[in-house]
Amino acid sequence: MPQLRVALAQVDTTVGDVAANAALIRSWTARAAAQGAHLVAFPEMALTGYPVEDLTLRASFVEASREALARLAKDLEADGYGEVVVVLGYLDRAADQTGSPIGVPKGRPQNAAAVVHRGQVAQKVVKHHLPNYGVFDEYRFFVPGRELSVVRVHGVDVALAICEDLWQEGGPVAAARDSDAGLLLVINASPYERLKDDVRLELVTRRAAQADCPVAFVNLVGGQDDLVFDGDSLVVSTAGEVLARAPQMVEHLLVTDLELAAATDGVKATTTPTAARPQEEPSVPVVRHVVLHDEPVAPYEARPGEIAPPLDDLAEVYAAITLALRDYVRKNGFRSVVLGLSGGIDSSLVAAIAADAIGAENVYGVSLPSEYSSDHSKSDAADLAHRIGLHLRTIAIAPIVSAFLGEVALTGVAEENLQARVRGMVWMGLANQEGHLALTAGNKSELATGYSTIYGDAAGGFGPLKDVPKTLVWALARWRNEEAVRRGETPPIPENAITKPPSAELRPGQVDQDSLPEYDLLDALLEAYVEGAQGRSELIAAGFDPAVVDSVVTLVDRAEWKRRQYPPGPKISPVAFGRDRRLPITSRWREHEA
């Protein structure tokens, strides 16, 4: 059987920085070539970054991607890598000059892959199945491809597909089988969510059986606004054996030696009808076949594939949030962050994540005690700062609050919230003055119920815990401290921050459970309502108390307007607030009679 050394380049690209992404592709191709790879594959839209959203609708951006691809092909050859087959994702447009219904001036955008060889783009592949659910809006941005591309590399027919093409029945997977491909290579930008690595492994395994050939799956890694990509690139045999697996959350070059079925003489046209969009008539993908080399490479001694163990659940979530924050800081040109440190668990965990992401020397904490602040809020914040080694300053807010109240008479909740607003103003002022990114410490349970002060503690530029329910906040904090013990380091989070009852400390003796159910119950209910989209009767049938259901559902529904004004934060769950769950703000629909 012919052999092929395949390199999967799990890289962290930057949306919109086409020149830097092209340079990245050149340098990782050099690394792959140095390891003797015959073929190197980069993620979906590696040249432009992913997702580029409405940048697809700018003709200038589409042209920049096309021109960069042509230049990259020449540069790779000039670098001496013309013989390496390079597969990469980029943004292209249809050859026809028709404007799209969404206002593209000429040529409709395509989510494409290029096969680069000997200074040329030898083959272009257009994504057939466009995802249009959850966080994906690809009907808005792209027109689908109609053809399966098979490229013969050293005597092996390699079928090419792009991300969602693997998730849907029919289309490229079936066409790969029908055309007797020796390898199905899929380039991806598959965002992280908890436990999705298991889902993908099962999917890739199933598709290998269906396509009747091994599958090589290269995924993007890195943070992009409210998405984080975990990598976890894979190579699976036809029988479903994992031949190679890259580590999660880091850039990695996964080099695998494969023995693959020899290409047969002719490539058969597929007969599997498939619609790229549900409303369309099924079409038959035409197989386009390009022969780069008919002859196999000379036999060589294969190396065993590298199989990185997947991270445990909590380690994976922690690493995903840390990567998301690091990339948000770096890609937006910041070097440091500022946040309010209350001695509570949310801000303590965010501080630990920030220090892991960008180094404690770049984390600026500010303790902002009011007249209701407990002693432990100050001492726990100081202890946290000492353990982590971050910068801490203290600014008492009582004089600012009383000066404000002297001019604007506020009472009750409005007066309570003023403290949170003064705090938010202080850290935004410091961010503005000193050039930091301000972090918002709120968690998903608070965001769900509106239990935060808008323009107060909800103020900031990035919210690392935005998709983390409170019960998971505690679990992550415990995990991080245990991890420190495993590494022989000082646990970053004071034990008291983990064990004390949560409180906003906006009035004497206030605790979260004055306003909310216990967090175990609240989070279970929120998961069923937000992620499970269950209605009132289903929630009650599932065993939740009707009065609790009514109060929590009302809180969630009424807080939509607050959520819309919340900063971005990384999606780690199947349904994050934001683009994953879109509800009207102005809405009279209620799950029950108020």
Ligand X SMILES: Nc1ncnc2c1ncn2[C@@H]1O[C@H](COP(=O)(O)OP(=O)(O)OP(=O)(O)O)[C@@H](O)[C@H]1O
Ligand Y SMILES: NC(=O)CC[C@H](N)C(=O)O
Per CB under 6 A, residues contacting ligand DND are 413, 416-417, 420, 446, 450-454, 456-457, 504, 506, 512, 515, 561, 585
The rounded Cα 448 to chain-centroid distance in angstroms is 21
Give CA–CA dist 468/470, Å, rounded: 6
Query: Does the annotation mark 259 as catalytic?
Result: no
Q: In the range 486-515, which residues lie near ligand X by CB under 6 A?
A: 502-505
190 known member of a binding site: yes
Q: In the range 156-185, which residues lie near ligand Y by CB under 6 A?
A: 163-164, 167
Compare residues 120 and 379 and give the one whose CB is closer to ligand X.
Answer: 379
446 known member of a binding site: yes
DSSP helix/strand/coil, 132:
coil
All residues at 6 or more sequence positions from 430 whose CB lies less than 8 Å from its CB, including other chains: 338, 364, 366, 436, 438
Query: Does the annotation mark 127 as catalytic?
Result: yes
Which residue is catalytic, options 124, 163, 331, 591? 163
All residues at 6 or more sequence positions from 363 whose CB lies less than 8 Å from its CB, including other chains: 336, 337, 339, 351, 354, 355, 388, 390, 391
Give CA–CA dist 47/356, Å, rounded: 29
Fill in the per-residue mask, 240 to 269: x = in contact with ligand X (CB under 6 A), - = not in contact: ------------------------------
457 is a contact residue toward ligand X (CB under 6 A): yes
100 known member of a binding site: no
44 is a contact residue toward ligand Y (CB under 6 A): yes
Total residues interacting with ligand X, rule: CB under 6 A: 21
Give CA–CA dist 136/593, Å, rounded: 34
Query: Does the annotation mark 106 as catalytic?
Result: no
Neighbours of 102 (CB within 10 A): 13
All residues at 6 or more sequence positions from 202 whose CB lies less than 8 Å from its CB, including other chains: none
The rounded Cα 246 to chain-centroid distance in angstroms is 17
DSSP helix/strand/coil, 437:
strand
Fill in the per-residue mask, 180 to 209: x = in contact with ligand Y (CB under 6 A), - = not in contact: ---------xxx------------------
417 known member of a binding site: yes
Total residues interacting with ligand Y, rule: CB under 6 A: 9
Sole binder of ligand X in the list 149, 190, 219, 367 (CB under 6 A): 367
Task: Tell me which DSSP letter residue 468 carries.
Answer: -
196 known member of a binding site: yes
| Binder of residue 131, out of ligand Y, ligand DND, ligand X, none (CB less than 5 to 8 A by kind) | ligand Y
| Binder of residue 167, out of ligand DND, ligand X, ligand Y, none (CB less than 5 to 8 A by kind) | ligand Y
Give CA–CA dist 41/127, Å, rounded: 16
Sole binder of ligand Y in the list 2, 43, 49, 131 (CB under 6 A): 131
Give CA–CA dist 494/343, Å, rounded: 9
Residues that bind ligand Y (CB under 6 A): 44, 131, 136, 163-164, 167, 189-191
Catalytic positions are 44, 127, 163
| Binding-site annotation: residue ranges for ATP | 340-347
| Binding-site annotation: residue ranges | 133, 190, 196, 340-347, 417, 446, 562
